[in-house]
């Protein structure tokens, strides 16, 4: 019996529509990861009202066949169990697609390295990499573009999984939830997912690494150590600041908020100071720091250049 008929008491019209759409999904007539026809088209085909059709769509969503989200057409989940003959037809002809969502920043070599690492690992005979991601000069724009990229990946090609260098903080939790409802695995690189998102993460131990770097400076006699961070709302930045503070406290030194600065990222119009401003402030202090721990190598080079 089709799964759609097992959910709640439905009218014969709703049961018929639900069973028909489920059959089309499981036989591949409606491809996984793709949109359904519009509500208007389906209402015309089945000669029913939108209210009746939506009862069927809710039933299909309940049975984990569809993803429905505000503002977009329902689409077929990517993890739907298809009829055996469909798998047999696709086995020899279909490559799996993996989405790689990374922020485009020509001045950041990490983006290039992430893309090259994925390309070097993927077997191009069986895997197709779809590389896309946000670019922009403000945080809100980057967050919006990242959400659009993820939505296109879910609704477009048949995506088997998504690797993401995440920028969206808590703002993009809704689109991450949409990806997961679609049954598409997410793997985060470098930046941890929000606490409410259960996904794999490939990263370094930023906290321990930062702590070790600051301990190195302390062991060489530095007691006033400035920290120059950036305004990105990502785990990497927060963890490195935590490691900095822990190293000071372990050595019996009191962290001084007056020695913590936020630098603007190159090309980003966000809260923070230019490296030249920070360097001037450090030099003009009555009791200036003797060392600086920077959150990234790019900021470290900018501070050195400014000094």
Instruction: Please work out, in degrees rounded to the nearest 5, the angle formed at the alpha carbon of residue 55 by the alpha carbons of 50 and 58.
Output: 120
Whether 161 and 183 have beta carbons less than 8 Å apart is answered as no
Check residues 159 and 123 and name the one with the higher pLDDT.
Answer: 159
Contact call for residues 230 and 263 (beta carbons, < 8 A):
yes
What is the spatial distance between Cα 279 and Cα 300, in angstroms, rounded to a whole number? 11
pLDDT confidence tier of residue 107, bands split at 50, 70 and 90: low
In the 3-class helix/strand/coil scheme, how is the chain assigned residue by residue?
Answer: CCHHHHCCCCCHHHHHHHHHHHHHHHCCCCCCCCECCCHHHHHHHHCCCHHHHHHHHHHHHHCCCEEEECCEEEEECCCCCCCHHHHHHHHCCCCEEEEEECCCCCCCHHHHHHHHHHHHHCCCCCEEEEEECCCCCCHHHHHHHHHHHHHHHHHCCCEEEEEECCCCCCCCHHHHHHHHHCCCCEEEECCCCCCCCCCEEECCCHHHHHHHHHHHHHHCCCCCEEEEECCCCCHHHHHHHHHHHHHHHHCCCCCCHHHEEEECCCCCCCCCECHHHHHHHHHHCCCCCCEEEECCHHHHHHHHHHC
Among 128-142, 162-176, 202-216, which stretch is predicted with the lowest mean pLDDT? 128-142
Over the chain, what is the mean pLDDT?
86
Q: Which of 72, 87, 27 is nearest to 181 (CA)?
A: 72
Percent above pLDDT 90 for the chain? 53
Least confident segment among 88-92, 104-108, 120-124: 88-92
Residues 6 or more apart whose CB falls under 8 angstroms from that of 233 comprise 139, 169, 170
Position 1 confidence tier, pLDDT thresholds 50, 70, 90: very low
User: Would you say residue 289 has pLDDT above 70?
Assistant: yes
Comparing 270 with 67, the larger pLDDT belongs to 67
Write out pLDDT tens, residues 10-57.
Answer: 688 899 999 999 999 888 888 877 788 889 999 999 999 999 999 999
* Higher-scoring residue by pLDDT: 212, 140: 212
For helices 275-284 and 297-306, angle between their N-to-C axes, nearest 10 degrees: 60
Residue 5: per-residue pLDDT: 43
Single out the residue of 206, 204, 168 nearest to residue 295, CA to CA: 206
69 pLDDT more than 80: no
Q: Is pLDDT at 123 greater than 80 in this prediction?
A: no
Q: Is the pLDDT of residue 152 over 60?
A: yes
* Predicted pLDDT of residue 121: 83
Confidence of residue 3 (pLDDT cuts 50, 70, 90): very low
| Structural domains in the chain plus CATH codes | 3-76 (1.10.10.10), 95-202 (3.40.50.2300), 206-306 (3.40.50.2300)
* pLDDT number for residue 157: 58
Residue 75 falls in which region: left (phi positive, over 0), alpha (psi -120 to 50) or beta: beta
pTM of the complete model beyond 0.85: no
Residue 124 has pLDDT above 80, yes or no: no
Residue-wise pLDDT for 210-254, tens only, equals 999 999 999 999 999 999 999 888 999 999 999 999 999 999 999
**pLDDT tens digit sequence for 245-282:** 999 999 999 999 999 999 986 545 556 788 999 999 99
Please state which of the ranges 118-132, 195-209, 218-232 shows the lowest mean pLDDT: 118-132
Contact 135, 145 (CB under 8 A): yes
> How many other C-beta atoms are found inside a 10 Å radius of the C-beta of residue 283?
10
Model confidence at 106, in pLDDT bands (50, 70, 90)? low
């Amino acid at each position: 019996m089709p799964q759609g008929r097992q959910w709640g008491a439905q009218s014969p019209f709703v049961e018929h529509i639900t069973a028909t759409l489920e059959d089309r999904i499981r036989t591949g007539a409606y491809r996984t990861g793709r949109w359904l026809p519009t509500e208007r088209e389906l209402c015309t085909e089945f000669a029913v009202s939108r209210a009746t059709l939506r009862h069927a769509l809710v039933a299909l969503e309940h049975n984990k066949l569809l993803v429905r989200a505000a503002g977009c057409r329902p689409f077929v989940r990517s993890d739907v169990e298809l009829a055996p003959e469909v798998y047999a037809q696709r086995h020899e002809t279909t490559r799996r697609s993996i989405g790689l969502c990374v922020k485009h920043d020509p001045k950041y070599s990490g983006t290039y390295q992430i893309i090259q690492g994925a390309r070097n690992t993927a077997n191009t005979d069986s895997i197709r990499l779809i590389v896309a991601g946000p670019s922009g000069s403000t945080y809100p724009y980057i967050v919006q573009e990242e959400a659009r990229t993820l939505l296109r990946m879910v609704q477009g090609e048949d995506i088997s999984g998504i690797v993401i260098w995440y920028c969206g903080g808590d703002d993009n939790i809704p689109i991450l939830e949409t990806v997961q409802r679609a049954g598409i695995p997410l793997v985060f690189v470098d930046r941890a997912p929000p606490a409410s998102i259960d996904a794999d993460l490939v990263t370094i131990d930023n906290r321990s690494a930062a702590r070790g770097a600051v301990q190195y400076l302390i062991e060489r006699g530095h007691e006033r150590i400035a920290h120059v961070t950036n305004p990105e709302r990502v785990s990497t930045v927060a963890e490195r600041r935590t490691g900095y503070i822990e190293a000071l406290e372990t050595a019996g030194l009191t962290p001084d908020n007056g020695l913590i600065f936020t630098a603007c990222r190159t090309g980003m119009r966000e809260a923070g100071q230019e490296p030249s401003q920070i360097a001037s402030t450090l030099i003009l202090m009555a009791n200036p720091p003797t060392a600086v721990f920077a959150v990234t190598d790019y900021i470290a080079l900018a501070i050195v250049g400014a000094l």
